[in-house]
Structure 1
């Protein structure tokens, strides 16, 4: 139930008077009510506007207008950054990829929020962490995401839990069926950073510390993680074609029957189910010695530091991330919600059978490095791994791991 607006205004005004150094993160400059603009990636499922219409009907003096940005995450970021660097008040509420929290907070483009205004204790804990930077809340989780292993039930008796099991099954299927065994997103872009991060985590390591201040990659673990992918390419159960795959290409390859296993996000489940029916299922990503660890994805909602109507923007975020609307995010938009209880709802589980596995994957997932220079870190990771995958020799794994660690340390040291 939403807090009455007069009470919310009083709380926000009090928060705005708090010292900016408060560890709880008090909102600053939160005055202003009126019409707002919600800037987010293009809505391809047409679920957003009905949610906005409900708000507008209840708030005729504070109507929200949807401003759709490009679908590609890097293009969304570029458009937002250009607007915010110009200190424009055009955007009020920003739909941010979870990797952008630190950068936008560090640059003063978004405002800290009062934690007590949002039911964060009812959200999935790892998801909440993506909205926190330097012990302050800078955004509110809106959707979540974690990688899953898709597999063909007509080709696989028991889904693999380890890399060795995946290799054995994928290699055998490739040999017998003449199709690809396994693929993820291996083109040199953010998706490759995610896939490699998952491999490192699933081998028991991590690339960068949780606070983003130290490179914690062990060269031996990095070599093990990269070696798993290189072995697949050398032996042929990871097809060479997968080096050109992003999310869409890998989704199509799986649902068209060209892959037995595929790593992808939950959005691929619906189309695969429609095409393959009961022949498709999902499980957690495998790891070196057991179930692996996914990289956390999703989107958070933040308030522009240059918005003239920040009170309305925050109240809109409270409305938009309410339990009722989060249910619609799943049922009408097919995006993973952030409220924990929705993953245990029998009606929803019957409609979306992957929810229990997805919940496990999110709880075991790790966020990408919380660092204002994350884009530079990601570029180094993706380009280094892509170079190695293009020359899949056993020796290249160790060399790449060592040089990657050195480059990552340089970025963090000079920031």
Structure 2
């Protein structure tokens, strides 16, 4: 679906108008001001009630109600899409994964926002790009993220910077300490797309999302590196079933010496391992690697009856004071650059300097209104290449992947 009726509604909403809403009983025109809801996944909802209460105390006529969606990202997206396709106003503020922005904008499900209304110049530059599509700001960065390498600092003297160093150290720790080497997210889902994207340096589509730019040699090298690890068993075969949670548990329970994961895994690893681990940037072919850019953006539903309140609430959630609370109380990486250099926060979250480096060097996943389909194509192709007996991939594997991606783009 492209912009049609929904796009017209988006323009009206952006101008501060309202539309009748069956679910709310057709509220009278209020200039876009009134009670709203925020829809967010369960994992990101636990710390929100105090923040919402602070808003509600000072905005009694514009109270915000929290709506918890499922924990799994694909289920969150499915519920949002179903709601928006029905033109329901149940959700006013949407907490979107950064890779959904293009899709929701392209379908007219969210409204464009005014750049000058938000302190975008204070945010980490890469995260701002995740909220822009076709030259317009469609959302506001809320949290950021980048993949990190967790490693057992009690078992290795110096963290690996290259794939060769990771392989050597993983084999050494496996031999000396009977502990598996490296684990990432290798199940055939979005996590595998992320791991592959990081391994090829993030270059899969052109910046406008219209052309496949995946480098053949880099793609083949990435698949060969993963296959080698599985063949030599410093990547355990069970890692083929790992998502983030399985990787987190394997590392903190002492079953992995190295693990690729998001910063959210730091707290539980600290509780289990104490000072026996640390984090660093992901290794790459010849030096520090490139992480995929993660995080969440805040958008206003095109079918909200109170878009002005929704925009004001987004301004509140992305203010520096609230962003500090998002980190200190929710453990979600903020988007304000200067918070990563705050001594008090670094003491509480020692990984912040490394995370800042990783985010600044990170690359976005493919920017496309058809991202979910593209991700499925990538994950399926990579999973097929990483099946026993883990042979070195030939050129046909990459050729097939590029052809499938090109076909997916042509069907948009």
Q: Which runs of 5+ in 1 are unaligned?
A: 1-16, 21-25
Q: How far apart in 2 are the matches of 1:27 and 1:391?
A: 53
Give the 3-state SS of the residue equivalent to 2:204 in structure 1: coil
Counterpart position of 2:132: 132
Give the 3-state SS of the residue equivalent to 2:271 in structure 1: helix
Counterpart position of 2:25: none
Counterpart position of 1:147: 147
Report the alpha carbon displacement of residue 397 of structure 1 after superposing the two structures with TM: 4.7
Deviates more, 1:99-108 or 1:387-396: 387-396
Query: Per-residue CA shift, 1:141-192, capped at 9, x if unaligned?
Result: 0000000000001101000000000000001111222211001000010000
Counterpart position of 2:88: 88
Query: Per-residue CA shift, 1:112-145, capped at 9, x if unaligned?
Result: 0000000000000000000000000000000000
Runs of 4+ with deviation above 4 angstroms: 28-31
Counterpart position of 1:258: 255
Report the alpha carbon displacement of residue 390 of structure 1 after superposing the two structures with TM: 1.2
Counterpart position of 1:101: 101
Q: How far apart in 2 are the matches of 1:209 and 1:273?
A: 39
Q: Measured at CA, do residues 156 and 395 of structure 1 come closer, stay the same or move farther in structure 2, by a change above 3 Å? A: closer
* Contact 1:146/1:361, CA 8 A, preserved across alignment: yes
* Contact 1:92/1:307, CA 8 A, preserved across alignment: yes
Cα RMSD for the two superposed structures: 1.6
Give the 3-state SS of the residue equivalent to 2:330 in structure 1: coil
Counterpart position of 1:224: 221
Give the 3-state SS of the residue equivalent to 2:260 in structure 1: strand
Q: Measured at CA, do residues 54 and 367 of structure 1 come closer, stay the same or move farther in structure 2, by a change above 3 Å? A: same
Q: Measured at CA, do residues 193 and 127 of structure 1 come closer, stay the same or move farther in structure 2, by a change above 3 Å? A: same
Counterpart position of 2:355: 358
Question: How many residue pairs align between the two structures?
Answer: 390
1:61 and 2:66 are equivalent in the alignment? no
Report the alpha carbon displacement of residue 413 of structure 1 after superposing the two structures with TM: 2.0
* Contact 1:388/1:397, CA 8 A, preserved across alignment: no
Counterpart position of 1:289: 286
* Contact 1:224/1:397, CA 8 A, preserved across alignment: no
Give the 3-state SS of the residue equivalent to 1:332 in structure 2: helix
Q: Which runs of 5+ in 2 are unaligned?
A: 1-7, 18-30
Counterpart position of 1:379: 376
Q: How far apart in 1 are the matches of 2:230 and 2:334?
A: 35
Q: How far apart in 2 are the matches of 1:50 and 1:319?
A: 13
1:308 and 2:334 are equivalent in the alignment? no
Report the alpha carbon displacement of residue 220 of structure 1 after superposing the two structures with TM: 1.6
Q: Measured at CA, do residues 304 and 181 of structure 1 come closer, stay the same or move farther in structure 2, by a change above 3 Å? A: same
TM-score, normalising length: structure 1: 0.92
Counterpart position of 1:11: none
* Contact 1:89/1:307, CA 8 A, preserved across alignment: yes
